[in-house]
Amino acid sequence: MAGKTLKTEAVVLRSIRYGEADRILHLYSTARGRINAIAKGVRRPKSRFGGRLEPFFRLDLLLHEGRSELLTVTNVSTLDGYPRLRSSGPALTAGARACDAVLRLLDSAEPNPPAYNLLCRYLSMLDDSALPRAAAIETALSFRLKLALAAGFSPELTSCARCGEAEHLTGFSGAAGGVVRAACEAGSFELSEEAHRFMVEAIARPLAEAPEAGDGALRQAERAVSETLEHHAHVHLRAAA
Ligand SMILES: [Zn+2]
């Protein structure tokens, strides 16, 4: 076979049945960011790849790169299958939304170690039954804020995104990409101090120490992230939880 071999670690974001026995894999990799690959014959009972090419699996992969845009899986070993994540409904939903957010927001074929490490850390937390808050909305939103930061679309949170003033930041504008003074942006919505503080702390703290906030503040924070990504990354994410 002509072509090159690519060796990389990757997380399976999506796995789609293809043809009689194959699967198309959407992967997030350390070597090259977002890549797509085909695994041939994996749905046959005697496939040596077994059931490892499913969403959330963290794998060491050997891929053959030919002329097609799809790489071909030639060897796989499992680094982590996150089995407890798979057996919990809320963790499964949170993991699926995280993979979906990575799929939509990080579409370039560039390595992004902060984004990759963030995804793996979140999947590990969801797999760790000693961390019951892992699947909570606070953690899901913290993941989303940190992912936006890793992708280069973090909202401006320290001063008015229109005029730079640091006082009276009572609004948020997705178009302006951050907090604003009410007078500066007609299209802003009201952002409570609690929601503002939640976003600042969520970005500053480790994922496992996501700050707490009330429902209203969390809804505002989610809207702020969603509208920022819609305006600046042209990406529409599903509800965080
Ligand atoms: Zn302003």
The answer, yes or no, to whether residue 199 has pLDDT greater than 90, is yes
Question: Measured in angstroms, how far is the CA atom of residue 187 from the centroid of ligand 1?
Answer: 13
Sign of the C-alpha dihedral computed for residues 218, 125, 232 and 26 taken in this order: negative
In 97-221 the beta strands, taken as DSSP E runs, fall at 171-173, 178-180, 189-190
Pick from 129, 125, 112: nearest CA to 56: 125
Q: How far is the CA of 147 from the centre of ligand 1 (A)?
A: 26
Ligand 1 center from residue 163 Cα (angstroms)? 4
DSSP letter for 97, please. H
Which residues are registered as beta bridge partners of 27? 12, 35
Cβ within 8 Å of residue 53, ≥6 positions away: 12, 15, 23, 25, 39, 42, 59, 73, 76
Ligand 1 mean position, distance from CA 162 (Å): 5
Determine the pLDDT at residue 2: 66
For residue 10, report the distance from its CA to the centre of ligand 1, in Å: 42
**Interstrand relation of 33-39 and 71-80 (parallel, antiparallel or unpaired):** parallel
Summarised one tens digit per residue, pLDDT across range 82-132 is 999 999 899 999 999 999 999 999 988 899 999 999 999 999 999 997 887
Cα 181 to middle of ligand 1, angstroms: 5
Fill in the DSSP letter of residue 221. Answer: H
Average pLDDT over residues 18-46: 93
Centre of ligand 1 to C-alpha 36, Å, is: 43
Q: Which residues surround ligand 1, an ion (CB under 5 A)?
A: 160, 162-163, 165, 181, 184
pTM: 0.94
